[in-house]
Structure 1
C-alpha cells in the first residue's frame, strides 16, 4: 500500500492537471456509479487525506478514491498514449481540454456529497502531511493500546495517517526496536521521538521521486557513506548498514517486515 508521501504526490499531479478546469469527459467504471456524469463541472481541488484522494467538483460533489496495493492515477496530454495497464483495468476517466486523468485498478472509487467526506476519512488520525497534524494526539493514539505490537499500531491509520509498510520498518529500525515490541514497552521519550521522526521523514520525501530514509543517493545532500536509500526495507539477507548483521524478514499482519536482529531490541518476528 502506498505511503502518505506517494499519495500526496499523486494528489499534486491531479490537482495541477484538473483544478480550475471544466471536465469534458467523465467515466466511472464501477457499477454503482456507472451512470454518474461529472461532465460540465469545474474541478475545485484534489487533496490527499492520509492515503485517501478527494477530488472535489462543482455542485458539492467529491470523487473519493484509494490506491491500496495496486491502484494508480496517470495523467496524459491530448493524443498521448495511455500507459498504466490494459483497458479493462481502467476504473475512472476524468478529462479536460488539456489533460486526461486515468485511474487504474482503483479498489475504492465512490462519488459522495462533499459535506459527507467525514464518512470516508473522518476515522483517520492526524495526517502527517496534512494541516491537521497534531503530534500530541498522534502520540496518545499510538500509546492507547499498550499490548499492541508497534508495527501494527504505526500502520493503523486511525492513530496517525500516512505511514505504510516501508516507513513502519524504517521507523522501527531508527528507534532500535523491533516491530513486534508492545507499544507499552516504549519509553515515552522514545515514542515522542518516533512520532517526530515519522513527520520528518514524510516531509523530507514529500517531493522526492524516490524515497530515502538514510540520506542516500536521492537526498539533496547525502551523507558520503550513505549508498542505500533505505536502512532495512527490502534488504533481507543483506548486511545491516549499521552493524553488518544480515537483515531478516518475516510477516507481520500479512505484510513483509524487515529488521536487524542485532540493532533492534524486542521480540523477533
Structure 2
C-alpha cells in the first residue's frame, strides 16, 4: 500500500493536471455514484491526510464537494493528455476526470466517495495527525498522547495505526525503528523519548517526499537500512537482518530489524 509520501506525490500530480480547471466530463464508475456528473465543476486542489486523497471541487451550482479516494493496495491515479490512451485497462478505471488540460484516471481505487466538503471529518476525522501536514504544536501533542495511550502495545503496531499518526506504512515504520535503535516488537513503554521518535518519523517521511523514494541511508545504491533486507547483512554492523510481523490480529504486516542494532530487550 502506498505510504504518505507516495500519496502526497499523487496529489501533487493531480494538482498539476487539474487544479484551477473546469471539468469537461467525468465518469464515476462505482454503483453509488454511477449517475453523478461533475461536468462544469471547478477543481480547487487535491489535499491529503495520511493515505487519503481529498479532491476538492466547486460544483456548477456553487456547492463545495470533495471526492474522497484511497489507493488501498492496488489503486493508482494516472494523468494523460486529453483523449490519450490510458495506461491501464478501461475495466479497472473507477474514476475519470476530464479537463481541457488533462484527463485523470483512477484505477482500482479502494475507496471512492463524493461528499460535501464540510463533511470531510466524517471520513478522515478519526485519523491521527498527518505527518506531512502542517504539524502544529497541537498536532504534536495529540500524536504523542495517542502513541503513549497504550504503553503495552508493540511499537510497530502503534506506528502502523493510522489513528495514532497518519501516513506511516511498513517501509517507514521499519526504517524509523531502525534509525532510533528500537525493536518494532518492543512495547511503546520502552521508548525513552517518544516525541523524538515522532519527529524523526516526520523527517524521514518528508525526505521520502523530497527524494521521490525512501532514502534513509543517503545511498541510492542501498537506499534503506532494513526494509525487505531480511537475510542480508546490516549496512551498519553486518548482523543478518531478520523479519517478522506486527499489527492487530488479522491485519498483520511484515517488518524488519537488525537484532544487534535493535535489541529485543533492555
Does the alignment pair 1:145 with 2:124?
no
Alpha-carbon contact 1:51-1:161 (below 8 Å) kept:
yes
Indicate the SS of the match to 2:166.
Answer: coil
Does the alignment pair 1:214 with 2:208?
no
Aligned to 1:175: 180
Indicate the SS of the match to 2:172.
Answer: helix
Aligned to 1:114: 117
Question: Where do 1:243-262 residues align within 5 Å?
Answer: 243-253=237-247, 254-262=252-260
In the alignment, the residues of structure 1 paired with residue 151 and residue 207 of structure 2 have an alpha-carbon distance, to the nearest angstrom, of: 29
Does the alignment pair 1:91 with 2:94?
yes
Aligned to 1:10: 10
- 1:180 is displaced (CA, Å) by 0.7
Q: Which whole-Å deviations, capped at 9, do the CAs of 1:221-254 have from their partners, x for residues lacking one?
A: xxxxxx4100000111111111111111122232
Indicate the SS of the match to 2:244.
Answer: strand
In the alignment, the residues of structure 2 paired with residue 60 and residue 78 of structure 1 have an alpha-carbon distance, to the nearest angstrom, of: 25
Indicate the SS of the match to 1:207.
Answer: helix
Indicate the SS of the match to 1:64.
Answer: strand
Question: Where do 1:1-269 residues align within 5 Å?
Answer: 1-58=1-58, 59-83=63-87, 85-133=88-136, 134-187=139-192, 189=193, 191-217=194-220, 227-253=221-247, 254-266=252-264
- 1:132 is displaced (CA, Å) by 4.4
Alpha-carbon contact 2:83-2:103 (below 8 Å) kept:
no
In the alignment, the residues of structure 1 paired with residue 245 and residue 161 of structure 2 have an alpha-carbon distance, to the nearest angstrom, of: 16
Alpha-carbon contact 1:15-1:47 (below 8 Å) kept:
no
The TM-score normalised by the length of structure 2 is 0.92
More moved, 249-258 vs 13-22? 249-258
- 1:79 is displaced (CA, Å) by 4.3
Alpha-carbon contact 1:5-1:162 (below 8 Å) kept:
yes
- Structure 1 spans left out of the alignment, 5+ residues: 218-226
Alpha-carbon contact 1:11-1:47 (below 8 Å) kept:
yes
- 1:211 is displaced (CA, Å) by 1.9
The TM-score normalised by the length of structure 1 is 0.91
Indicate the SS of the match to 1:65.
Answer: strand
Question: Across the two proteins, how many residue pairs are aligned to each other?
Answer: 255
Aligned to 1:224: none
- 1:78 is displaced (CA, Å) by 2.5
In the alignment, the residues of structure 2 paired with residue 183 and residue 106 of structure 1 have an alpha-carbon distance, to the nearest angstrom, of: 33
Alpha-carbon contact 2:162-2:168 (below 8 Å) kept:
yes
RMSD (Å) for aligned C-alpha atoms: 1.3
